[in-house]
C-alpha cells in the first residue's frame, strides 16, 4: 500500500491522524505530515479508515503491486 495525500485538498483537520497516528501526523502548525508512505500491513486497516474518513477526500491509497 502506498499513501498519497493531495495537500491542495487537505484542510489539516487531523481526523486521519486520529485514526492512524502511526501513518499521519498533524503538526503544531496544523500541517499534515505522512509518517509512513508505505505502512506495514498491520497498519492497513487503520490507514483505510483514515482515508475513508477524510472529509476532503485528500487521501488516496494505491496498491504497490
Cell numbers placing 32:
499534515
pTM: 0.92
Secondary structure of residue 13 in the 3-state scheme: coil
Secondary structure of residue 18 in the 3-state scheme: helix
- How far is the C-alpha of 28 from the C-alpha of 39, rounded, in Å? 23
Instruction: Specify the CATH number for the domain of residue 28.
Output: 3.30.70.20
- How far is the C-alpha of 26 from the C-alpha of 32, rounded, in Å? 5
- How far is the C-alpha of 63 from the C-alpha of 53, rounded, in Å? 19
Q: How does pLDDT run along the chain (65 residues), one tens digit per residue?
A: 999 999 999 999 999 999 999 999 999 999 999 999 999 999 999 999 999 999 999 999 999 75
Work out how many domains the chain is built from and give that number: 1
Containing structural domain, residue 22: 2-62
- How far is the C-alpha of 16 from the C-alpha of 3, rounded, in Å? 12
Amino acid at each position: 500500500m502506498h499513501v498519497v495525500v493531495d495537500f491542495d485538498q487537505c484542510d489539516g483537520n487531523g481526523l486521519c491522524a486520529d485514526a492512524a497516528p502511526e501513518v499521519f501526523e498533524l503538526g503544531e502548525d496544523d500541517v499534515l505530515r505522512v509518517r509512513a508512505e508505505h505502512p506495514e500491513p498491520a497498519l492497513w486497516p487503520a490507514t483505510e479508515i483514515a482515508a475513508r474518513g477524510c472529509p476532503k477526500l485528500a487521501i488516496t491509497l494505491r496498491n504497490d503491486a
